[in-house]
Amino acid sequence: MTTTKSTPRFAICVDNSEYPASLELHKIYRVLPDKDAQTDGDMRIIDESGEDYLFPADYFIPVELPQTVIRVLNKSYAHAHA
């Protein structure tokens, strides 16, 4: 796995047909950078278990969020996983 450090990215799940226990439709998920996954057509997503896994990229729509929203999500994520 090749990863790079960057600003956290987010994506909305638009298909959970093969992973209903791991992904919720229309939910915003944190995307971790992974160039190898991207090359293979996948995205590294932190799913409902709190762990990161590869899912097909076409299951998600990447979204750009305002910096204030990103700060709140990062704080919320850190608090939930502390």
15-28: per-residue pLDDT in tens?
Answer: 999 999 999 999 99
**What parts of the chain have a pLDDT lower than 70?**
1-8, 81-82
Length of the chain: 82
pLDDT at 81: 65
CATH topology for 9-80?
A: SH3 type barrels. (2.30.30)
pLDDT number for residue 70 = 87
Which pLDDT belongs to residue 77?
A: 76
What six digits make up the tokens of 56? 């097909």
Q: Residue 6: what pLDDT? A: 53
Q: What is the pLDDT of residue 82?
A: 66
